Structures are given as C-alpha cells and as structure tokens.
C-alpha cells in the first residue's frame, strides 16, 4: 500500500507544482488522442451507419473484419505505420516519422474499427425500430441514414468514448512511431513507460493517476453532455 | 410552462457544443504539421542507457544553446538504433557496440565512427550472492560461477549493446546460457531499466552499464558484485549517417553535433554530468 501512497503523493506534487514538462506532455496526449478519435469518428460513424442500413455482398465479412480489428495489438499497428512512414518506406518522403502526426495516424487505425463496429451495432437496433416508419413515408436511403444518425447521436458518444479510451491508454503504437522524443512526441503513456524503466515506480504510477483523472474528466464531460442533451434517456 | 422550449434549447446547445468540439479538435490535428518554420533539428538514434541516465537532458540544452540546432533523441537498444539508422530514420547514431558500429561504417551506412565517451559494465546481483561471485576480478569467470549454481540471471535478450557484450562474456566462459533460457537464465527482451526491475523483483544477477545502474531508483536488494575487469569497459561511438545512402540526412547539422561532442565544451559537459557526486560518463579526447 505504501507504493500507492508514494505514487499518489508523487501525482499530487506534480500537479501542484504545475510542472511545465508535465503540462506539455498532457496537452500532447490530449491533442494526439482527441485528434485521432475525431478523425476516426468522422470516418467511422458514417461508415458504421452505411453498414448498418445497407445490404450488399460481403457485408457480413466486413462486419466480422471490423470486429476482429478491434483486437489489433497497438504494437503491430505501430510497426505497420513505422514501415510505411520510414525513410525506406513508401511514404518516407513525407518525413512524418517521429512526429505527432504519425502518432495520430497510428491511433486512427486503432480506434476506427471500434467506432465502426459500435456505431453499426447501435444504429442497427435503431434501424430495426424505425425502418417501417421511415419506409412508409418513402424516405430516401440518405434521409434514413441521417434520421438514424441524428436520433442515435447521444448513444454514439459511448462508441467515441470507448475509442478515446483505447487511444489515450495505448503505448505500443505511439512508442514506435513517435519515438518518445522529449518535448516532441512524449505523451503520458510513453512517459510512464520511461519512468518505470528508470525504476522510478512512484513517479510512473503517479503519472498513471493523472492519466486516470484526465480520462475521468473527459468521461464526466461526455456524460454531462449526454444527460443534458437527452434528459428522457437519463438512467 | 417555459420548460419545454428550455429543454429544446438546451439540447440544441448540447448538440452544437459537441459539433464545435469535434471541429476544433480536428482542426488542431491538422495544425500539427503547419506549426510554422521549425527551427533546424537533427534526429539521433541512441540507446536507453544514455537517455535513462539523464545524460542527454544534461548536455543537449548546452549544444542547442550554442548551435541553435535542436536534437531529437530516439532511445532504443543499440541493435534497434542501428536498424533505424540503416533505414535512414536518423541523422546521427550514438551507440555502444564497437564491432556493430564498425560494420555499419564498413557497409557504407555511416561516414566515420568517432569514440565519444566511456563508462563500464558491472555485474549486479542479490546481496546474498548465492554464486559467491562478489569481487571476482574476471567477469567471464563470475558468469561461470553463476551458471554453475544455476542462480537466476536476467538478460536483456534484445540485441542491444549490453546484451551483445553479455553474450560475448558468456562465450569467453565457454557457456551457452540460451540452452537454459526459461530456467535460471531469463531473457526479458526489454531495455536495461525494465530488465533491472525484473532482476530486482526476482533477486537475480544481471549485467548492466554503470550509468543506468547508478540512476536506477528501484534497486531493492541488488548491488554491484563484479566490477573492474578491464574488458568491462563500455565505449560509446558516434557516427554520421552517410548522405550517399540517404540523401535527406542533415549532414551539416549532424557533423556539428559530433564536432561539439568531441570539443572541449562537449567533453566538459559530458564529464560534468554527475549523479550523487559520481561521474557517469568519461569523455574520450
């Protein structure tokens, strides 16, 4: 228990000191993961909606594929993005390796399957509920998708939060494509790994507590928005 | 009465808020690239020992101040650092396995190897010392003693400079520990600090560079048992990646960094880095 107490004190001391490095690391973590989740949501929600509402050959295979990709190990994604962005790789000329952009790309790949799958699941049940009504008023497919997306918008927050959880917690991918460079690509999780490898377990755990608090704050914010915007579904 | 419209308004506001948040964050994502004219920087592929010990944090600001060149360090094992450099993902390589470094230059990936600094390796182990290897002057012999009693030994197992040297010492003693992998010989496949964490938890022996050991905060029952064998010298070399192999290499800035490391200012910065009054690296003239 002493270890947790030490970690907690370390976390409090860090937060209280307003350490510039810590603030920079937190901001970069937020920037990378929130960007990745937003991009994944902008692609994944319409894609998940399309899969939920339409019928086409290979649809089942696509659903299974996205479900399976939810379990993709971050290290594997990191290696794939590394190979592509390396100077010896096809997109090496872009000079993106070891930049926050590379980290965002890796996290988009990690988060996209989660958002697609959860969106499809959520909208599928809504679609079963609304299909007859929408078809009776001869709504076009685009109108159907828009209606279902709009009505499910608050439920989709869960999909986005699960994606954010994956993005902000993973270390394997950002370590490889970001390189954990001080002041440039160091985020919360890679900083935790670094402190652990220095044997400073209290500081590593303390940073872990801070990450947990940030994650809590984001979830409270999202929960508040949902409850505020959709009072009749509040539970 | 007014409650209905109020709730509608609140909902509309909530939806707007979400939409705005999405747009703002998406915009910052794309701003990562266009953050203006970056100051010149080089990427240095190096080892965990130089980073974990805090050496770079101590010396790099001094170099940046005099040169205006920012140094971005990617700290991995020597094997991985060399692979990064071969792919052209770094401008300068700063590692510690002379044979691998010379091969790297001979193959045309590096311009030239310069010795920069040295420290030494130590064999650490539990204070009970079941192998009775403490103060054994011959490091290879000490490993033989550990193997003979089958005392737990944690190895990096990650093709790093330290790991390669450890393998060499086993070979000197005529022992192939990989046959015992999983029994008393444990390969962690990770960095020096992570390996020391495992060793500290298991009460196992390990070969470590002295700087990582000194700055390592979770020693528990481990202590230095074997040191001083001249073969335990741990030399770091620095190499500029060849522009002939990788045209994008920032040769001028990279060479400036190498020249600075070898200059009086660079050497005194390296020598001036101390933890608890102890010098961790000694610059080579």
Note the pLDDT tens digit of each residue in A42-66: 999 999 999 999 989 999 999 999 9
A170 pLDDT band, cuts 50/70/90, is very high
Domain covering A21-225: architecture: Orthogonal Bundle (1.10)
CB contact under 8 A, B217 and A199: yes
Residue A6 has pLDDT above 90, yes or no: no
From chain B, pick out residues whose CB is under 8 angstroms from the CB of A92. 88
Please give, rounded to a whole number of angstroms, the shortest distance from the CA of B197 to a CA of chain A: 6
A-B CB pairs within 8 A amount to: 106
| CA triple B158-B93-B78, angle to 5 deg | 10
So what's the pLDDT on residue B126?
97
- The residue of chain B with its CA nearest to that of A153 is B15
- Give the DSSP letter of residue B138: -
Over range A215-229, report the average pLDDT: 86
So what's the pLDDT on residue B36?
44
So what's the pLDDT on residue A165?
94
Instruction: Note whether B41-118+235-283 and B120-232 share their fold.
Output: yes
Please give, rounded to a whole number of angstroms, the shortest distance from the CA of A132 to a CA of chain B: 27
Residue A37 has pLDDT above 70, yes or no: yes
Of B10, B200, B216, Cβ closest to residue A198: B216
Q: Tell me the C-alpha distance between A65 and B224, whole Å.
A: 52
Q: Tell me the C-alpha distance between A28 and B279, whole Å.
A: 34
Residue B29 has pLDDT above 60, yes or no: no
pLDDT tens by residue, B202-225:
999 999 999 999 999 999 999 999
Q: Tell me the C-alpha distance between A31 and A27, whole Å.
A: 6
**CATH for the stretch B120-232:** 3.40.190.10
Residue B5 has pLDDT above 80, yes or no: no
Tell me the average pLDDT of chain A. 91
Residues 194-223, chain A, touching B (beta carbon < 8 A): 194, 196-201
List chain A domain ranges: 21-225
CA dihedral A196, A199, A201, A206 (to 10 degrees): -60
User: Is the distance from CB of B92 to CB of B238 less than 8 angstroms?
Assistant: yes
Of B29, B88, B197, Cβ closest to residue A88: B88
So what's the pLDDT on residue A124?
93
Where does residue B105 rank: exposed (0-12), middle (13-18), buried (19+ CB within 10 A)?
Answer: middle
Tell me the average pLDDT of chain B. 90
CB count in 10 Å sphere of residue A93:
9
Of B7, B10, B28, Cβ closest to residue A31: B28
Q: Tell me the C-alpha distance between B205 and B215, whole Å.
A: 18
**CATH for the stretch B41-118+235-283:** 3.40.190.10
Q: Tell me the C-alpha distance between B63 and A170, whole Å.
A: 33
* Residue in the structure block whose two tokens are 């929960």: A223
Please give, rounded to a whole number of angstroms, the shortest distance from the CA of B193 to a CA of chain A: 4
On whether ipTM exceeds 0.90, the answer is: no
Residue B34 has pLDDT above 50, yes or no: no
Which of A3, A34, A83, A87 is the best residue to mutate to test the B interface, defined by the most B CB atoms within 10 Å of its own CB? A87
So what's the pLDDT on residue A2?
81
Over range A196-217, report the average pLDDT: 91
So what's the pLDDT on residue A234?
43
Read off the tokens for B193: 């600090």
From chain B, pick out residues whose CB is under 8 angstroms from the CB of A86. 87-89
Residue A202 has pLDDT above 90, yes or no: no
Residue B258 has pLDDT above 50, yes or no: yes
Q: Where is average pLDDT lowest: B14-28, B135-149, B210-224? A: B14-28
Residue B51 has pLDDT above 70, yes or no: yes
From chain B, pick out residues whose CB is under 8 angstroms from the CB of A229. 10-11, 14-15, 18
List chain B domain ranges: 41-118+235-283, 120-232
A225 pLDDT band, cuts 50/70/90, is confident
């Amino acid at each position: 228990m002493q270890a947790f107490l030490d970690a907690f004190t370390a976390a409090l001391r860090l937060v209280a000191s307003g350490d510039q490095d810590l603030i920079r690391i937190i901001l970069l973590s937020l920037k990378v993961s929130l960007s990745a989740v937003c991009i994944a949501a902008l692609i994944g929600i319409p894609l998940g909606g399309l899969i939920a509402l339409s019928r086409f050959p290979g649809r089942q295979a696509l659903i299974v594929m996205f479900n399976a990709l939810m379990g993709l190990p971050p290290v594997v994604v990191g290696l794939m993005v590394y190979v592509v962005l390396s100077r010896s790789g096809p997109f090496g000329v872009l000079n993106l390796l070891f930049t926050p952009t590379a980290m965002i790309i890796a996290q988009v790949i990690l988060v996209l399957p989660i958002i697609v799958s959860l969106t499809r699941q959520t909208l599928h049940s809504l679609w079963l509920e609304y299909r007859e009504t929408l078809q009776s008023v001869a709504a076009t497919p685009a109108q159907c998708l828009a209606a279902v997306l709009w009505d499910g918008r608050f439920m989709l927050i869960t999909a986005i939060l699960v994606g954010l959880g994956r993005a902000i917690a993973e270390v394997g991918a950002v370590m490889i494509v970001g390189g954990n460079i001080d002041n440039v690509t160091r985020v919360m999780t890679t900083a935790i790994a670094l402190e652990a490898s220095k044997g400073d377990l209290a500081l590593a755990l303390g940073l872990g507590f801070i990450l947990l608090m940030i994650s809590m704050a984001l979830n409270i914010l999202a929960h508040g928005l949902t409850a505020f915007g959709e009072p009749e579904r509040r539970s | 009465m007014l409650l209905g419209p109020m709730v509608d308004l609140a909902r509309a506001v909530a939806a707007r808020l979400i939409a705005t948040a999405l747009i703002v964050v998406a915009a910052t994502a794309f701003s990562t690239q266009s953050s203006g004219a970056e100051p010149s920087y080089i990427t240095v592929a190096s080892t965990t020992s130089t980073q974990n010990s805090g050496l770079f944090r101590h010396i790099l600001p001094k170099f940046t101040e005099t040169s205006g060149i920012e140094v971005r360090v990617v700290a991995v094992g020597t094997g991985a650092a060399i692979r990064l450099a071969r792919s052209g993902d770094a401008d300068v390589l700063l590692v510690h396995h002379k044979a691998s470094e010379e091969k790297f230059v001979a193959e045309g990936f590096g311009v030239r190897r310069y010795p920069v600094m040295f420290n030494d390796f130590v064999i650490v182990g539990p204070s009970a010392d079941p192998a009775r290897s403490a103060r054994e002057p011959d490091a290879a012999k000490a490993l033989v003693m550990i193997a003979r009693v089958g005392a737990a030994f944690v190895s990096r197992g990650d093709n790093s400079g330290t790991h390669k040297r450890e393998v060499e010492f086993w070979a000197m003693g005529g022992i192939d520990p990989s046959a015992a992998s999983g029994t008393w010989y444990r390969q962690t496949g990770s960095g020096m600090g992570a390996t020391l964490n495992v060793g500290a938890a298991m009460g196992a022996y390990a070969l470590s560079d002295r700087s990582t050991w000194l700055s390592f905060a979770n020693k528990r029952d481990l202590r230095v048992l074997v040191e001083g064998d001249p073969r335990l010298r741990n030399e770091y070399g620095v190499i500029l990646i060849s522009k002939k192999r990788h045209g994008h290499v920032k040769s001028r800035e990279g060479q400036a960094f190498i020249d600075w490391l070898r200059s009086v200012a660079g050497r005194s910065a390296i020598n001036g880095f101390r933890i608890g009054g102890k010098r961790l690296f000694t610059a080579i003239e």
